[in-house]
Structure 1
């Protein structure tokens, strides 16, 4: 990605090194923790893996003033540029729909973080919290995405950020509230199926950002699209379940299969419109 020199968002809260610490893991070792991270990213229960096997501004230190890993400074700049580019993309797309884009804030943290959705461990992976309209990200997740799950590259990382911003767009459109209300009245299997549609739409929204980042600002380089599609595939429910437990349980999917995630991310990249991302009308697609 041609991101160096790009505008950096002012909506970054750097809470790294805030001193919350990490709770003790329950057996399984480091490998189980990594698998649990991806399971929780996909909405699953990490205990099945573990038991079975006020914030400061964007700066070079965490919220407590403690030093942070200097190797993450470039990643911090990169995330700030990607977030800024989403800020430049979404207002013009939502205005015709009668929705004013309110910029989300992105919180960088290490190990644990407090949010309006509760205190979360980094094992949840990147997440969006609708009540406080914030995206939460432990930059260490990008290392796991690369080394353990074979999805390297800056555009793969940008896809992760854009997906979480996609959840913010759903929140602004009222989709998140509708899904939450419907899921509370459903069986677990039906609720999971609805969650899949919500997550696939966020993938499609990430693709919309990529479409306009390239069309309007020519940010993409050769190989970037493949990186993004590789990331979408690497965190499909079927891929993660096969890695974690050696088998696939489709009725427990919460984010969609690798094929479905790739399908909808590609749809957003190719068409670039909100209307093209109506997963609730068209269904999950793929397998």
Structure 2
């Protein structure tokens, strides 16, 4: 958590961390406004400014995909918090999601470059496998509400950020250095 907060505080003047991280285990145990956050998920909630994650699902993801993907999940949801703070809002959810993937890639890649984060052998493969696992099903319309992107789109967005930093993420240049 400290690494992602340090990353964004160095890039956004007046950065404010999310208010809290909320673990949950049961469908609807945590609400985002009037909407229950479902299990098998992690989410940023602008109402209350928090990130919630399903503990059981996260542990399962960790067991199946490894630790690197859990760091991606945090970075992706934090990316949504950054969008909220900067007033970035796209007409289609897929663009919000792909930008959050890019932000996660930039945070992980840049944090490695400065020594705040270390990848182990196989972690890049874990990340790629994880991105494939959270991709939209084949044939899902890109314009559908809630669309996140195909496996190729999600891995492309993440690795663009990982390799090229925020310059690849369609972020206003006035907000990052």
Q: TM-score range by the shorter chain?
A: 0.7 to 0.9
Q: In the alignment, which of 138, 153, 161 is matched to residue 260 of structure 1?
A: 153
Q: How does 1:211-250 map to 2 (within 5 A)?
A: 211-217=109-115, 218-238=117-137, 248-250=139-141
Gaps of 5+ in 1: 1-82, 184-193, 243-247, 280-287
Describe the SS at the equivalent of 1:93: coil
Cα separation, 2, equivalents of 1:221 and 1:249: 34
1:123 aligns with 2:39: yes
Q: What corresponds to 1:93 in structure 2?
A: 11
Q: 1:145 Cα shift? A: 3.2
1:170 CA drift (Å): 0.6
Q: Does 1:157 align with 2:70?
A: yes
Q: Which residue does 1:103 correspond to in 2?
A: 17
CA distance in 1, matches of 2:25, 2:131: 24
The residue number in structure 2 matching 1:33 is none
Q: Tell me which structure has the larger Cα radius of gyration.
A: 1
SS in 2 for 1:101: coil
Q: Which of these residues, 203, 208, 211, is aligned with residue 101 of structure 2?
A: 203
Mapping 1:154-193, distance limit 5 Å: 154-175=67-88, 178-179=89-90, 183=91
Relative to structure 1, the CA distance from residue 102 to residue 115 in structure 2 (aligned partners, 3 Å threshold; closer, same or farther) is farther
Q: Secondary structure at the match of 1:94?
A: coil
Deviations 1:239-280 (A, max 9, x none): xxx5xxxxx33253710001000000001100112x32018x
How many residues are aligned here? Answer: 166
* SS of equivalent to 2:81: helix
Identify, as 1 or 2, the structure richer in helix: 1
Runs of 4+ more than 6 Å apart: none
Q: Give the secondary-structure state (helix, strand or coil) at the position aligned to 1:278.
A: coil
Q: Residues of 2 paired with 1:139 and 1:237: CA distance? A: 22
Pairwise CA distance, 1:220: 1.5
Task: Provide the secondary structure at the position in 2 that maps to 1:198.
Answer: helix
Counterparts of 1:5-154 in structure 2 under 5 Å? 83-95=1-13, 100-104=14-18, 105-111=20-26, 112-123=28-39, 125-145=41-61, 152-154=65-67
Asked whether the 8 Å contact 2:7–2:107 carries over to 1, the reply is yes
* Cα RMSD after superposing both structures: 2.1
Q: CA deviation at 1:115?
A: 3.4
Q: How high is the TM-score relative to the length of structure 1?
A: 0.53
Cα distance in 2 for residues equivalent to 1:118 and 1:209: 31
